[in-house]
Amino acid sequence: MAQVSVTINGRAYQIACDDGQEEHLRQLAGYIDRRMAELIAAMGQIGDMRLLVMVSLLIADELSEVTRQLDDTRKTSEDARSTATKVDAQAASALESIAARIEDIAARLEHA
Protein backbone atom coordinates (compact mmCIF):
# COMPACT_ATOMS: atom_id res chain seq x y z
CA MET A 1 0.00 0.00 0.00
CA ALA A 2 1.48 3.32 -1.09
CA GLN A 3 1.31 6.64 0.74
CA VAL A 4 0.84 9.91 -1.16
CA SER A 5 1.13 13.44 0.14
CA VAL A 6 -1.40 15.79 -1.45
CA THR A 7 -2.09 19.44 -0.81
CA ILE A 8 -5.59 20.86 -0.89
CA ASN A 9 -6.23 24.50 -0.03
CA GLY A 10 -2.74 24.85 1.40
CA ARG A 11 -3.03 21.84 3.72
CA ALA A 12 -1.03 18.66 3.26
CA TYR A 13 -2.72 15.29 3.66
CA GLN A 14 -1.20 11.82 3.69
CA ILE A 15 -3.43 9.45 1.75
CA ALA A 16 -3.04 5.69 1.35
CA CYS A 17 -3.67 4.19 -2.06
CA ASP A 18 -2.98 1.05 -4.04
CA ASP A 19 0.48 0.74 -5.50
CA GLY A 20 0.62 2.35 -8.92
CA GLN A 21 -2.26 4.74 -8.19
CA GLU A 22 -0.12 7.50 -6.72
CA GLU A 23 -0.10 9.79 -9.77
CA HIS A 24 -3.83 9.35 -10.32
CA LEU A 25 -4.49 10.32 -6.70
CA ARG A 26 -2.25 13.39 -7.09
CA GLN A 27 -4.21 14.41 -10.20
CA LEU A 28 -7.54 14.02 -8.37
CA ALA A 29 -6.26 16.07 -5.43
CA GLY A 30 -5.00 18.73 -7.87
CA TYR A 31 -8.43 18.91 -9.45
CA ILE A 32 -10.09 19.36 -6.07
CA ASP A 33 -7.51 21.99 -5.10
CA ARG A 34 -8.16 23.94 -8.33
CA ARG A 35 -11.93 23.81 -7.79
CA MET A 36 -11.48 25.05 -4.23
CA ALA A 37 -9.26 27.90 -5.49
CA GLU A 38 -12.01 28.86 -7.96
CA LEU A 39 -14.57 28.98 -5.15
CA ILE A 40 -12.26 30.96 -2.90
CA ALA A 41 -11.67 33.46 -5.71
CA ALA A 42 -15.42 33.82 -6.21
CA MET A 43 -16.60 33.75 -2.58
CA GLY A 44 -13.59 34.38 -0.38
CA GLN A 45 -12.28 32.13 2.37
CA ILE A 46 -15.53 30.86 3.91
CA GLY A 47 -14.17 27.99 5.99
CA ASP A 48 -12.69 24.66 4.99
CA MET A 49 -15.73 22.57 5.77
CA ARG A 50 -18.10 24.77 3.80
CA LEU A 51 -15.63 24.90 0.89
CA LEU A 52 -15.31 21.12 0.89
CA VAL A 53 -19.08 20.72 0.89
CA MET A 54 -19.47 23.19 -1.97
CA VAL A 55 -16.66 21.58 -4.00
CA SER A 56 -18.19 18.17 -3.36
CA LEU A 57 -21.53 19.41 -4.65
CA LEU A 58 -19.90 20.94 -7.75
CA ILE A 59 -18.04 17.72 -8.52
CA ALA A 60 -21.19 15.66 -7.89
CA ASP A 61 -23.04 17.94 -10.32
CA GLU A 62 -20.32 17.42 -12.94
CA LEU A 63 -20.50 13.66 -12.40
CA SER A 64 -24.29 13.75 -12.71
CA GLU A 65 -24.07 15.62 -16.03
CA VAL A 66 -21.47 13.23 -17.43
CA THR A 67 -23.58 10.26 -16.31
CA ARG A 68 -26.64 11.75 -18.03
CA GLN A 69 -24.64 12.30 -21.21
CA LEU A 70 -23.35 8.73 -21.06
CA ASP A 71 -26.90 7.41 -20.63
CA ASP A 72 -28.06 9.52 -23.60
CA THR A 73 -25.18 8.19 -25.70
CA ARG A 74 -26.00 4.61 -24.73
CA LYS A 75 -29.67 5.13 -25.64
CA THR A 76 -28.70 6.68 -28.98
CA SER A 77 -26.36 3.75 -29.60
CA GLU A 78 -29.08 1.23 -28.72
CA ASP A 79 -31.53 3.04 -31.01
CA ALA A 80 -28.98 2.99 -33.83
CA ARG A 81 -28.35 -0.73 -33.30
CA SER A 82 -32.08 -1.41 -33.35
CA THR A 83 -32.49 0.61 -36.55
CA ALA A 84 -29.51 -1.16 -38.12
CA THR A 85 -31.01 -4.54 -37.24
CA LYS A 86 -34.32 -3.55 -38.87
CA VAL A 87 -32.53 -2.25 -41.97
CA ASP A 88 -30.49 -5.46 -42.18
CA ALA A 89 -33.68 -7.52 -41.97
CA GLN A 90 -35.33 -5.39 -44.66
CA ALA A 91 -32.27 -5.66 -46.89
CA ALA A 92 -32.15 -9.44 -46.44
CA SER A 93 -35.83 -9.69 -47.28
CA ALA A 94 -35.35 -7.51 -50.38
CA LEU A 95 -32.39 -9.63 -51.49
CA GLU A 96 -34.40 -12.81 -51.03
CA SER A 97 -37.22 -11.33 -53.08
CA ILE A 98 -34.81 -10.26 -55.85
CA ALA A 99 -33.14 -13.68 -55.83
CA ALA A 100 -36.53 -15.38 -56.14
CA ARG A 101 -37.45 -13.11 -59.07
CA ILE A 102 -34.12 -13.84 -60.79
CA GLU A 103 -34.61 -17.57 -60.31
CA ASP A 104 -38.14 -17.26 -61.72
CA ILE A 105 -36.87 -15.35 -64.77
CA ALA A 106 -34.05 -17.88 -65.25
CA ALA A 107 -36.54 -20.76 -65.02
CA ARG A 108 -38.81 -19.13 -67.64
CA LEU A 109 -35.85 -18.57 -69.94
CA GLU A 110 -34.85 -22.23 -69.67
CA HIS A 111 -38.37 -23.35 -70.66
CA ALA A 112 -38.71 -20.93 -73.51
Taking only the tens place, the pLDDT of each residue in 30-86 is 999 999 999 999 988 888 889 989 999 999 999 999 999 999 999 999 989 899 999
Answer for the pair 13, 6: CB distance below 8 angstroms, yes or no: yes
Structural domains in the chain (count): 1
> What's the pTM?
0.66
For residue 53, CA distances in Å to 33, 48, 83 come to 13, 9, 45
Domain, as residue range, for 43? 2-111
Give Cβ neighbours of residue 11 (< 8 Å, ≥ 6 apart): 48
- What is the average pLDDT across 1-6? 95
Angle of the 22-43 helix axis to the 48-111 helix axis, nearest 10? 120
